Amino acid sequence: MVIYGVYIVSKSGGLIFNHDHNVPKIEVEKSFNFPLNIKLNYENKKIVVSFGQRDGIHVGHVLTYVNGNAITGRELEDGRDILEMLEQPENFPITLKFSRAKMTTNEKIFLASMFYPLFAIASQLSPELRSSGIEILEADTFRLYCFQTLTGIKFMIVAEPSQPGMEILLKRVYDLYADYALKNPFYALEMPIRCELFETNLQTLLETVEKSGISNV
Amino acid sequence: MTFGLYAETPSSLSVNKVYVYNITVQVVRTRYIHTSSRQLVARRATGPIVNMSRTGTKLDAKKVNSELFTLTYGSLVAQLLQDYENVEDVNKQLERMGYNIGIRLIEDFLARTGSGRCYDFRDTAEKIQSGFKIFLGITPSITNWSPAGDEFSLCFETNPLTEFVELPDNYSSLKYCNVLPGVLRGACEMVQMEVACWFVQDQLKNDNVTELRVKFVKRLEDAIPAGED
């Protein structure tokens, strides 16, 4: 039973709140000898595994540490280029740490605004009159549940496919939004929600649902 | 915000839950010019209970004595009268504050009732009525439908806002409860409906009932979110 995250998108399509809940952290550290037996690529300012999946290191994972030193972009802190470094035998054996790429806030904002037209298109593509937009989007590893209020705010939850009761949970999150965001006099409508009370209450709600199911909230 | 009069009241009055958006600072420096304190103490805890917030998501809503709300509102109006001097400006300010409350309050109403979209103004009238029940603990009657069905009146036998209020002669043009039309306008606008709203009768002005007229202006078609129209 895992809920991965909660997103709130404003009437105009901007991401006003996101909360990563229980995203499992994946980190793999391994020592390599020359020549390196996995293919690395530099894309989107990250060094990504492109081929050669082994020992828990999967295609798509991102290189984060080299010999225990953090990297930024394709360079070590001292400015050495990592991809060049990995071509030279004298640098081996070398310890590389990989982890799953974390979404940056910008990427989240981008994806949230991407969902907005998809939702609208879905309602227009519908063969039936007066169809809603996307309410559930299913993939093999997660389900995205979306609930749009009459005022046009979208609440979204990303959860494990087997997690039940998410539609009810969305309404509970709406309750919390109405209580702790809108009744906060210092919260301006349509602006990102930075209300501690809202976050703590949301956190509690999600934990309760994960532990003891939706019937207890 | 402190209420000396209520200092010894046993019921748990939660001040921070009362709707006083953007006005808290003004309420702090307040004198109750609209009512006498003797009356207040004597009539304490007799008024209806106003439902202002929920704890958690359980149905047993946390309630607050309506008199606290009445007093807060009274102090707000009194302060506005001091700040603006011109009664017309006060009416306008109250309406504006109501609007700002309404655009937030609608979410609370929807989250709490789970009600759907209105496709007829009669639905709207009933929902507004239930809104008054939820937030003010009163049930105004719906009357005087216009033949076209686009205008109706809400009649209040009692009104918690005016519980202890007598309007002085020099404020005869003051629309004391003008926050209510603002709330209705703001709330309806958020569900893509433009309404006009005004008082035609007022018990404070020696009418038998307080009558609030609500008129449907138009649906805000452009604002209806995709997947809803």
| pLDDT digits 0-9 by tens, B81-90 | 999 989 999 9
Mean per-residue pLDDT, B113-121:
92
Rounded mean pLDDT of chain B? 78
pLDDT by residue (tens digit) across A103-136? 889 999 999 999 999 999 999 998 988 888 999 9
- Nearest by CB to residue B110, choosing from A122, A132, A149, is A149
| Contacts of residue A135, Cβ cutoff 8 Å, sequence gap at least 6 | A145, A146, A147
* Tokens 């719906």 belong to residue: B142
The answer to whether B117 and B193 have CB atoms below 8 angstroms apart is no
Chain B residue nearest residue A154, CA to CA: B225
What confidence score (pLDDT) does residue B12 get?
Answer: 37
What is the pLDDT averaged over residues B44-57? Answer: 47
Taking CA–CA distances from A188, the nearest residue in chain B reads B104
Q: Contact A182/B108, CB-based, under 8 Å?
A: yes
Q: CB-based contact (8 Å) between A113 and chain B? A: no
Residues 6+ apart with CB under 8 A from A205: A169, A172, A173, A176, A217, B57
Interface touch A119/B227, C-beta < 8 Å: yes
Q: What is the model's pLDDT at position B48?
A: 52
Q: Is B44's pLDDT higher than 60?
A: no
Residue A115 near chain B (CB below 8 Å): no
CA B226 to chain CA mean position, Å: 31
Q: What is the DSSP letter of A214?
A: G
Alpha-carbon separation of residue B157 from A44, B34, B111, B120, B154 (angstroms): 67, 20, 28, 26, 10
List, for residues A67-93, the tens digit of each pLDDT value. Answer: 988 888 888 888 888 888 888 889 889
CB pairs under 8 A between A and B: 75
Geometric angle at alpha carbon B178, from B177 and B182, rounded to 5°: 130
> CA of B226: which chain A residue's CA is closest?
A120
pLDDT at B51 over 90: no
pLDDT at A37: 86
Instruction: Judge: B19–A152 Cβ closer than 8 Å, yes or no.
Output: no
Q: Please tell me the predicted confidence (pLDDT) of residue B14.
A: 38
B2-29, pLDDT tens digit by residue?
333 333 333 333 333 343 333 333 333 3
* Percentage of chain B lying above the pLDDT 90 cut: 62
Cα distance between the two ends of chain A: 16
A203 touches chain B (CB under 8 A): no
A-interface mutation test, from B22, B23, B57, most A Cβ less than 10 A away = B57
Q: Is the CB of residue A2 less than 8 Å from the CB of residue A209?
A: no
For residue range A151-175, list pLDDT tens digits in order.
999 999 999 999 889 999 999 999 9
Instruction: Establish if B222 touches chain A: CB-CB under 8 angstroms.
Output: no
Instruction: Kindly state the average pLDDT of the residues A26-36.
Output: 88
Check residue B24 and give its pLDDT: 31
Question: Burial of B168 by CB count in 10 Å (0-12 exposed, 13-18 middle, 19+ buried)?
Answer: exposed
Contact B107 A153 (CB under 8 A): yes
Contact state of B223 with A174 under an 8 Å Cβ cutoff: no
Long-range contacts of B37-42, Cβ-Cβ distance < 8 Å, separation of 24 or more = B37/B5, B39/B164, B40/B5, B40/B67, B40/B71, B40/B164, B41/B5
B114 contacts in A (CB within 8 Å)?
A: 171
How far is A142 from chain B, CA to nearest CA, in Å? 23
Residues B62 and A10: their CA atoms lie apart, in Å, by 28
Helix axes A166-176, B87-113, angle to 10 degrees: 160
> Left, alpha or beta for B47 (phi > 0: left; psi -120 to 50: alpha)?
beta
Closest CA to B150 of B218, B212, B198: B218
CA angle B14, B190, B175 (to 5 degrees): 65
- Is residue A179 pLDDT above 90, yes or no? yes
Per-residue pLDDT for B38 more than 80? Answer: no
Residue B191 contacts A, CB cutoff 8 Å: yes
Q: Which two tokens stand for residue B131?
A: 């809104």
What is the mean pLDDT of the segment spanning B86-105?
A: 96
ipTM, interface predicted TM-score of the complex: 0.82
Which chain A residue shows the shortest CA-CA distance from B22?
A185
Q: Which of B17, B22, B107 shows the shortest C-beta gap to A149?
A: B107
CA A20 to chain centre: 7
State the smallest CA–CA distance between residue B111 and chain A in angstroms. 5
What tens digit of pLDDT does each residue of B190-216 get?
999 999 999 999 999 999 999 999 999
CB B111 within 8 A of CB B61: no
Query: pLDDT band at residue B32, thresholds of 50, 70 and 90?
Result: very low
